[in-house]
A and B are shown apart, each in its own frame.
Chain A
């Protein structure tokens, strides 16, 4: 069912990862991604994996939810694996048939690529699972703050992002409802030729768009009623403040990145 989509869903909790400042988590995620692309060997991948595994364990978010979130990526993962297995030049030929060869180098490379994508996505999920959308956009706004000097509408951008994130579950629920209602009127999504299936989407998409516009309109009115005028002169109820925990997390993050860089310089 559509409800099972967990993309970007927040799991409330009180773990150390939950309590970190959103800015800390965002910056560490960026460091983590850089490190992931710098990792070239089993050793450095091991370091990264350890970092991720410990973070996930601390967060207390059930592993199942990560697996569920990764499901939609299955196609990309398989595709990447096949590309890497068959199109990597190598010397140690393992199997050869019909003009295609599988080399040891290809397998290793495919494994690394898969691990990289999986770890990339899992890391990002960890951020969205442990950070509420509001905290996330607050953090982003604060991190991008300096760009205001360049006249970039940072507050407006983060508000837009916040609203978009907020409405994902609402729209999923709405889609679910509309689908049930149209099914009750005899729409068949599961069978028929491609064109029929595409046409079966119209009764879903039209009401969905109309309701999205209606919601946007209502939200805009509600915001104006509360005198929302964008970021100028707006203060925050919850000020972001770094705590000891954040500095520790920064420390761990920087050490991990440095470790991977050092390992890389040794060719590991």
Chain B
């Protein structure tokens, strides 16, 4: 399959020519296939947010290219605007961007800006609300009367309603309770499967990315330092720890087991852990 998104030698420097000059992205190159679920990890200030804002044309590269379907999004104005809609971006704490009188109107804001017909907007609003688990009767409520978790859902629905082919989320579960986190993550995955969309998610929860994603990108000091399956990335657990990043709790436990002299493979999911442990006992498991 042809890659939907390609990033070529992307660099970005903030405040060029001032004492605050700061290189936020340094020669980042990767490509994304349709339908992938990608996790982006990296400590604060590693360039994740800057990278995300390049992918839908909010920031202009200092050098390098972003290609959507093989076409440079900065090569013509129309393509830049299209990129805004084809690549949906959910910022951190998106509930702070709500502004309309009703939940319905707020979710409809993006599709309206796309210039869609009233029926199409209506369909998308209801579908997006359904995707994130906002009940139909809540659509006429003021978004400011909702709880924090509900606001977050509405804000995510506002982006989903634009039906982006690539959905990018910056820590969509930050500050939510465990049940809310799980729910939102499942909703995002459902959107990806049903719409055959690509999802890129920035997260600090290694447990979440290990479980959900098929590919992990690790950012450190403005560079893309690792890019591969969770297995490949978590095999470099020691390097991740040195970068100041966390590793999944299971991986950590198994690293310790290995240090204690047990012959276990590095793991990052519960499934693997069970397999690895049963293998250890020669398949004779009564768990």
Contacts and interface: CB of A to CB of B under 8 A. Distances in A.
Interface of A: 3-4, 62, 64, 177-178, 180-188, 202-203, 206-207, 210-211
Interface in B159-192: 159, 162
Interface of B: 15, 18-19, 53, 56, 58, 81, 84-85, 88-89, 91, 94, 96-99, 109-110, 113-114, 144, 158-159, 162
A3 B16 CA distance: 13
A182 B56 CA distance: 13
Contacts, number: 55
B84 A182 contact: no
Contacts of B144: 210
Contact of B19 (A4, A62, A181, A207): A62
Nearest 9 A-B pairs (CB), nearest first? A186-B113, A206-B99, A184-B89, A185-B110, A181-B97, A181-B91, A203-B99, A207-B99, A207-B97
Given A202-B99, A207-B96, A211-B96, A183 B84 contact: yes
A62 B20 CA distance: 12
A64 B15 CA distance: 13
B159 A185 contact: yes
| Interface of A: prevailing SS | helix
Contacts of B89: 181, 184
A184 B96 contact: no
Contacts of B97: 178, 181-182, 185, 203, 207
Contacts of B84: 183-184, 186
A178 B96 contact: yes
B59 to A, nearest CB: 9
Given A207-B96, A211-B96, 12 more contacts: A62-B19, A182-B97, A183-B58, A184-B58, A184-B88, A184-B91, A185-B110, A186-B84, A188-B113, A203-B97, A203-B99, A207-B98
A60 to B, nearest CB: 11
Contacts of A62: 19
Contacts of B58: 180, 183-184
Nearest to A210: B144
Nearest to B56: A184
B53 A185 contact: no
Nearest to A184: B89
Contacts of A187: 113
Most chain A beta carbons < 10 A, residue from B98, B109, B113, B159: B113
Most chain B beta carbons < 10 A, residue from A180, A184, A207: A184
Nearest to A183: B58
A188 B110 CA distance: 11
Contacts of B158: 185
A268 to B, nearest CB: 40
Contacts of A64: 18
Nearest to B59: A180
A1 to B, nearest CB: 9
9 contacts: A180-B53, A181-B97, A184-B58, A185-B162, A186-B113, A202-B99, A203-B97, A210-B144, A211-B96
